[in-house]
Amino acid sequence: MALFNTDLMALTVLLIAIGAFIGLNKLISYLLRSTKRLTVEQKNKSNFAFKLISIVVIVFLAIEGFPSFGNIDPEIAAVLTGSISTALAFASSEIFANILSGLLLFIIDPFDLGHIVKIKGKKGIVKKITFTKVVIETFNNIMIEITNNEIVNSNIINYTIELQDIETFEDFKNKIQSPQDKGKARIDFDLNDKLRDYKEEMEEIYDVFIEKNYEQIHSYTFRMRFEYDKFRIKIDRISKLCDEYKQNFGFKPRFHIVWFGNRIGVKFRILTFKTQNVVQYQPKFAHELYKISMGEEKF
């Protein structure tokens, strides 16, 4: 039995419901952006959940609301239903696949708005998350749209670390340390400070975290290869460059030897609380490193 007595009433209610849900979604999105009591993750999940509820209610009204659907001959209704279902399946298979992938991403929660990520080889900041796609902004200010289905089938690297559950300095240090920072796995050729201030540096970062009450920190990494020729001299120049960029990132970039052969692989790591620092200064920092690797700097 239909929910409404006439098709006109059903159509009227459906249109009103669509308009109301669109308005409510915009209002809730605005309120969530304005409040400071919720984390970015909680805001995104709340917005996503309300949009899902809206779609379910609208689909239910469309299917159950029109009384004329019940007056169609059962055989004709079966043929029409099969034909429409088949057409919709072909036309919207990709859409539904992306929606289901979006639900899976919602459950797994591999990243959130404002996080710095690497998806399908593309690095950037997550600017928008929808039912069907994610929009990231690269460090070259290019907007890239990646469907949820592609994301589910890709390797995802998240360079952003959430800090809400941190209670002690040891918790903080363990959470932001990379494998190269721990024990004998640490191979640091930053000879300028002789590693003696590493603990002091961690304490400095922790003090800023406590003072400013930051919710997350970005641990951005990238690799470069250097020729063996004059590598020891290049290391000294790199160390000085890291000192220079400390004021830009807030903390001194670190680097480690990760591969040693005909060419030497070096992994660089930037720690910063501000996303804009990575966007604004990392490309310049990488370019200066490239000039050193190519021997364009005067030694």
Q: What are the φ and ψ backbone dihedral angles of 6, each rounded to 5 degrees?
A: -130, 160
pLDDT for 293 equals 86
Taking CA atoms, 89 is separated from 76, 94, 149, in Å, by: 19, 9, 16
CB 231 within 8 A of CB 264: yes
Structure confidence at residue 67 (pLDDT): 72
What does the pLDDT read at residue 241?
Answer: 93
The region of weakest confidence among 5-19, 28-42, 72-86, 205-219 is 72-86
Q: Residue 41: CB partners within 8 Å, gap ≥ 6?
A: 109, 112, 162
> 151: which residues sit within 8 A by CB, 6+ positions away?
101, 105, 119, 120, 134
Report domain extents, the chain: 7-108, 116-157, 161-293
Q: How confident is the model at residue 271 (pLDDT cuts 50, 70, 90)?
A: very high
The number of beta carbons lying within 10 Å of the beta carbon of residue 103 is 14
Q: Report the topology of domain 161-293.
A: GMP Synthetase; Chain A, domain 3 (3.30.300)
Residue 286: is its pLDDT beyond 90? yes
pLDDT, average across residues 136-146: 89
pLDDT per position as a tens digit, 4-13 = 778 788 788 8
Q: Does domain 116-157 have CATH number 2.30.30.60?
A: yes
pLDDT in tens, 202-240: 888 899 998 888 889 999 999 998 888 888 888 889 999
DSSP-based three-state secondary structure for 241: helix
